[in-house]
Amino acid sequence: MNQNSLDPGWIGKTFDDFLFRPCKGRIESRSLISLNSQLTRNISLELPIVSANMDSVTGRDMAETMALEGGLGVIHRGQSIDRQAELVSRVKRSHSAVIENPLCLPVSATIGQARFFAGRHNINGILIETRSGSGILAGVLTRRDIPWQRDADDRPVADFMTTFERLKTAPPNVSTDDAERIMFEGRFERLPLVDSERRIHGLITRKDVRFLRERPFASKDNKGRLLAAAAVGCTGDYLERADQLLRSGSDCFFIDIAHGHSQVMETALDRLKSGFSGIPLVCGNVATTDGARFLRDIGADAVKVGVGPGRGCRTRLETAAGVPQLQAIRETWSAVGGDIMIMADGGIRHDKDIFLALACGADTVMLGSALSGTDEAPGRVIEDPATHSKKKIYRGMTSPEAVLESLYDTDDGEVVDAALDTPPEGQEIQVPYKGSVVDILHRIRGHLRSAVSYAGESSLAAAREKILPDPLRFLVPLSESSRRESYER
C-alpha cells in the first residue's frame, strides 16, 4: 500500500481540513469518560498525551508532572548522558510508593554533611547505615533532628538520629495499605523496610503514599514509581546512553531521529534490541506507509509519526520533505495500525487536533509547543516591560540555539556531527507564558472527553473502535468559508 491506495479524501489533509460530525450522545456525565490508551502493548496511559523530548519542553519537572497527570514525559538527549540519566532517576525517585534504594549516610557522617546532603537531594529524612555502604540500618535522621546552630556541624549524626531500636520498621514485602496503616497509627512520616538482619530494602513515606492515592490516574510502573521515558539517538554514544538510562530506571526509550526510515535506525534498533531486550522502543519519525512498515518489521513497539508539522520545525521549508500530518497518521494506521501503536507527533495547535489525531489512527499524541511556555518546561520566564507580557522560549532541537547549547553539555557524537554538518532545520520562537501545565492538561482532558461525547461513546477506546475503520464517514471536509466560520473568532 502506498499513498495511491489511500482514499483520496485523505490526500493533502491535516487537522484544519475537517470537522467531526456529532453523533447521538449516550452518557450523563462527561467526567466518567475514560481516555485510557496504549503507548505500547505493555504501557497504557490514562491521558494519551506525551511531552516532547525537546530541551524547551521536557526536563525533570515536566516529566514528573506529565506522569502524575496520567501522561508521560520524554527526557531529551541534548545533554550529557550523566545529566539525562540523573533526571530520569529523579523522576523515578519522586513520589514513588516505595523508594527502592533510599539515600543513606553512615553513622560517622557529620551533621554538617547531613545538612548539605538533605539540601542537595531535597529530602527530609536520611537513613543512617552502620558504616558507609553496609546497607545495615542504624537509625534515621530527619531535617527536624538537624540543629539550627552551625556549631553542631562537626558532631556525628549518631548523636541526633532516632536509633534503630526506637524506630518503627516493616518487612520488605509489606503492602502499601499496611504501610499506610502502620504510619497512620503511629503518626510516623516514614517507614524503612528492612529484613531480619536489618538490611535496608526500601523506604515508604506517608507523604508519597497520600500523594499517589490522591492521583489514581498517575502513570506508574509495577512498583508504584512514576513512569519516565528518555530519548536516545542512533549513532555516537547511544548504546552507552541507553545502558545508563536503563540503570537509572527509564521505562521506555524513544529512538528519535529526524528521518526514522533509514539504515542508521535499522542498525541502532538491532543493537538496542539485542543489548537491552524487553524495554519498549518507540521509534521515529516517519510519515509514510513504507516508513511505518519498516519500523514495525525491524521490531519497533510503537511508531512516532510526523515529518515537519512541528512549530519549531523548518524541515518542510528547507527540504520540501514531509506529509500533511492527518494524512500521515491515516497512512501509517492503514499500514501498521493494530500491529504496533502509533504516536502522532507535531502540529497540534488546538485541542480538537488531538481528538482528530486519535480518531484517525493515533493511539497517543506528542506535544511540544502546546506544553511549552509553562512553569514545568525548562527555561525562565522573560518579561517584556513594554507590553507587560510574559514569554518563554520554545525551540526546535535542530535550531542553531538548541544545537549550540547542547554542544556544551553533550557527549553525543550525533549531536556534534549534526551541529557541524547540517544547516538548521529548526527555529526558536517566543511563546506566551501559560502558568502550570497541570491546567493545560486539565483543559485537554476536558475537551477530549467532550469530543468523545460528541462521538456518541463513553470512552476514547470505544470512540476509536467505532471511527477508525472509516473516519471519513464521520468527518466533514471544510471549504474556505466553512473553515472561516469554524475558526475565525
Residues near ligand XMP (CB under 6 A):
52, 54, 258, 285, 306, 308, 310-313, 315, 345-348, 366-370, 396-399, 425-426
Q: Smallest distance from the beta carbon of 307 to ligand XMP, in angstroms?
A: 7
Place of cell 531535597: 122
- The question of whether 360 is a catalytic residue gets the answer no
Q: Judged by CB, which is closer to ligand XMP: 55, or 129?
A: 55
CB of 258 closer than 8 Å to CB of 398: yes
Distance CA 72, CA 275 (A): 24
Q: Judged by CB, which is closer to ligand XMP: 104, or 366?
A: 366
Q: Judged by CB, which is closer to ligand XMP: 359, or 418?
A: 418
Distance CA 365, CA 349 (A): 12
C-alpha cell of residue 405 = 547549547
Q: Judged by CB, which is closer to ligand XMP: 320, or 386?
A: 320
**Cα separation of the two ends of the chain:** 40
Q: Smallest distance from the beta carbon of 419 to ligand XMP, in angstroms?
A: 12
Q: Judged by CB, which is closer to ligand XMP: 59, or 308?
A: 308
C-alpha cell of residue 215 = 492521583
Q: Smallest distance from the beta carbon of 269 to ligand XMP, in angstroms?
A: 18
Count of positions (residues) in the chain: 489
456: nearest Cα among 11, 20, 23: 23
Instruction: List CB contacts of 360: < 8 A, sequence separation 6 or more.
Output: 326, 329, 330, 333, 467, 468, 471
Q: Judged by CB, which is closer to ligand XMP: 236, or 306?
A: 306
Distance CA 207, CA 215 (A): 13
Distance CA 116, CA 119 (A): 5
Distance CA 164, CA 130 (A): 10
Q: Judged by CB, which is closer to ligand XMP: 285, or 453?
A: 285
| Residue nearest ligand XMP (C-beta atom) | 426
CB of 427 closer than 8 Å to CB of 393: no
Long-range pairs for 350-354 at CB < 8 Å and ≥24 separation? 350/15, 351/443, 351/444, 351/447, 351/448, 352/15, 352/20, 352/447, 352/451, 353/15, 354/49, 354/444, 354/447, 354/448
C-alpha cell of residue 225 = 514509581
Q: Judged by CB, which is closer to ligand XMP: 153, or 428?
A: 428
Q: Smallest distance from the beta carbon of 120 to ligand XMP, in angstroms?
A: 32
Distance CA 331, CA 361 (A): 9
Q: Smallest distance from the beta carbon of 27 to ligand XMP, in angstroms?
A: 30
Q: Smallest distance from the beta carbon of 58 to ligand XMP, in angstroms?
A: 10
Q: Smallest distance from the beta carbon of 445 to ligand XMP, in angstroms?
A: 18
76: nearest Cα among 387, 348, 379: 379
Q: Smallest distance from the beta carbon of 456 to ligand XMP, in angstroms?
A: 29
b/e 334-359 (16+ beta carbons within 10 angstroms → b)? bbbbeebbbbbbbbbeebbbbbbbbb
Q: Judged by CB, which is closer to ligand XMP: 207, or 350?
A: 350
Instruction: List CB contacts of 322: < 8 A, sequence separation 6 or more.
Output: 287, 307, 308, 309, 315, 316
Set 104, 252, 283, 313: catalytic member: 313
Q: What is the Cα gyration radius of the chain?
A: 25
Q: Smallest distance from the beta carbon of 447 to ligand XMP, in angstroms?
A: 16
Please name the amino acid found at residue 235: T
Place of cell 504496533: 340
Q: Among all residues, which ones are annotated catalytic? A: 313
